Amino acid sequence: MTMTSAISAPALPSPRPDRPLLKVCGLKYPANVAAVAALPVDILGFIFAPKSPRYAPLALDAAQLRMLPVAKVGVFVDETPAVIRRTALHFGLTAVQLHGQESAADCAALAEAGLPVLKAIAVGEQLDLARLAAYAPFCSYFIFDTAGPAAGGNGTAFNWELLRAYDLPTPYLLAGGLGPDHAAVLRELRLPGLAGFDVNSRFEQGPGLKDVARLRHFIDELRG
Ligand SMILES: O=C(O)c1ccccc1NCC(=O)[C@H](O)[C@H](O)COP(=O)(O)O
């Protein structure tokens, strides 16, 4: 039995020609998870990195997650494959997001075990796109996120123009400090390979608690 056949989770959405995908990351509390899942969002993200203030497994309701008809991504930072696979099965995850120093071989091993992989790339002043070619065959998406003191959820944006030279076949989500005030510019943003956006700390009332009204307004503005 493959990993995917053991998990009844909706598939990871493909890029859409008509509108950008939206991933809301860093959810933690069951009532808030339900409220965000009722919005027209494409992917929900849950943090399984113990150092994060959004570390979710102790608060999450696994039965609720397994039933949700939305793609669910578990975010891990340099975690062991065994823990990742066990967590994915327990929570019914659709895919895993690797947000540390994982290698292309790490991504390949999980993808070949039936778990689609989103590989996060930390972007600083420069972006070495050439090194990503080794990852591309094993990743469903890249997530370009701003490098910072924490592995993720830093709340700051990077220079998106660094992606103007992107030429790999793997689509990506843009992340890093995207907030309500970005809706209009994101709506017009055209970059090669860009499939959508990943939002997190700038839509929070507290760590892991999303502001549903702020998200709804952002989605309305983003999609028109
Ligand atoms: O959000 C976290 O606390 C986090 C911790 C460790 C690894 C990854 C983490 N977040 C992953 C994400 O996909 C975030 O959405 C991404 O870093 C952007 O966050 P933000 O800058 O707050 O919008």
pLDDT digits (tens, 9 = 90+) for 46-73: 999 999 999 999 999 999 999 999 999 9
C-alpha distance from residue 178 to each of 46, 193, 219 (Å)? 17, 18, 12
For each of the domains in the chain, give its residue range(s) and CATH number, in order of start.
3-223 (3.20.20.70)
Neighbouring C-beta atoms of residue 208, cutoff 10 Å? 24
Between the CA of 1 and the centroid of ligand 1 the distance, in Å, is 32
Residue list, ligand 1 pocket, CB within 6 Å? 25-26, 45, 47, 49, 52, 54, 75, 77, 99, 143, 145, 150-155, 175-178, 198-202
Exposed, middle or buried: residue 75 (CB in 10 Å: 0-12, 13-18, 19+)? buried
CA 99 – CA 79 distance, rounded (Å): 10
Averaged pLDDT, 150-158: 98
Considering the chain, what percentage of its residues have pLDDT values greater than 90? 95
Q: Tell me how many helices (H) and strands (E) the chain has.
A: 7, 10
pTM for the predicted model, two decimal places: 0.95
> Shortest CA distance to 71 belongs to which of 92, 98, 49?
92
